[in-house]
Amino acid sequence: MKRAYVTLVTNADFALGAKALLNSLIATGTTAERVVMHTGGVPPEALAPLTALGARLVQTDLLPTSDAFNSAHAREALHGAAPFTKGEKPAFHTPLDNFCKLRLWQLSHDRVVFLDADTLVLRNIDSLFDYPEFCAAPNVYESLGDFHRMNSGVFTARPSQATFEAMMTRLDTPGAFWRRTDQTFLQDFFPDWHGLPVTFNTLQYVWFNMPALWNWDAIKVLHFQYEKPWQDHAKADRLRPLIDLWHAYAAGETPDLAALPSPT
């Protein structure tokens, strides 16, 4: 059975994230293949460190979506129609590229666990390969009211060309507008998605918004939603222990998770 962890890299910034992610996966001792799908917007020098870490690179084209779809989901149009009010997306965020994530259903693997390039895997999560399609954690980072929405930064999938074709039929219909791009689409496509514990996709804002939910002993995947740990940003001081953790993995270190501080 062919199993793989898959991530998507659409520019040099997300290649930085993918390097830390790959290092974190290696530290868990997984034997699953590690695949980096990448678009033409990533320079070769940004991809070279990922190859050096044993990842298999798969060049991925943008989806063949209509001009109307592309215009509606361009950065300025999307952020204007559906502004991010809880945090800031970096300048290199290209929302239309997010839909390339659907290309993983064209891979030749039997089972896939997708991980956004701004995640870290802190503990072995190979058990997810035995979970059904489609499993994802809720998009919890502000209140319990967030539990009804899923976050597409971590999910389980079973690649299938038939599924991919069904997605393409659903995705680009007249007037289509997916407010949070792939995340909104996937929740619509898989309305009976199976909920993973939040420990499989713990969003960084939980650190200061819901500290009682934070448990280093249980967290398996840490997700830097909104601002990225390799940026300078307004929330950096509040998130410093998480950012320091990311930099340790980016440098190829294996941090002592037991020594990490708790939220204050």
SS3 5: strand
SS3 219: coil
In the chain, beta strands by DSSP E? 3-9, 33-38, 56-59, 111-115, 119-121, 135-138, 150-157, 194-195, 202-203, 221-223
Q: What is the pLDDT of residues 37-47, one digit of tens each?
A: 999 889 999 99
Closest CA to 156 of 182, 137, 129: 129
Average pLDDT estimate for 207-222: 96
Q: What is the pLDDT of residues 134-190, one digit of tens each?
A: 999 999 999 888 888 999 999 999 999 999 999 999 999 998 899 889 999 999 999
Average pLDDT estimate for 39-57: 96
- Give me the pLDDT at residue 59, please: 96
- Give me the pLDDT at residue 83, please: 67
Q: What is the pLDDT of residues 88-106, one digit of tens each?
A: 665 556 788 999 999 999 9
Residue matched to tokens 């390339």: 100
* Cα gap 215→93, rounded to integer Å: 29
CATH 3.40.50.300 holds for 3-259: no
Whether 146 and 139 have beta carbons less than 8 Å apart is answered as yes
Residues whose CB is less than 8 angstroms from the CB of residue 156 and which lie 6 or more positions away in sequence, other chains included: 111, 112, 113, 114, 128, 129, 131, 132, 133, 134, 135, 136
- Give me the pLDDT at residue 65, please: 94
End-to-end CA distance of the chain: 44
In the chain, % of residues over pLDDT 90: 84
Average pLDDT estimate for 13-19: 96
In the chain, % of residues over pLDDT 70: 94
SS3 125: coil
* Cα gap 189→204, rounded to integer Å: 26
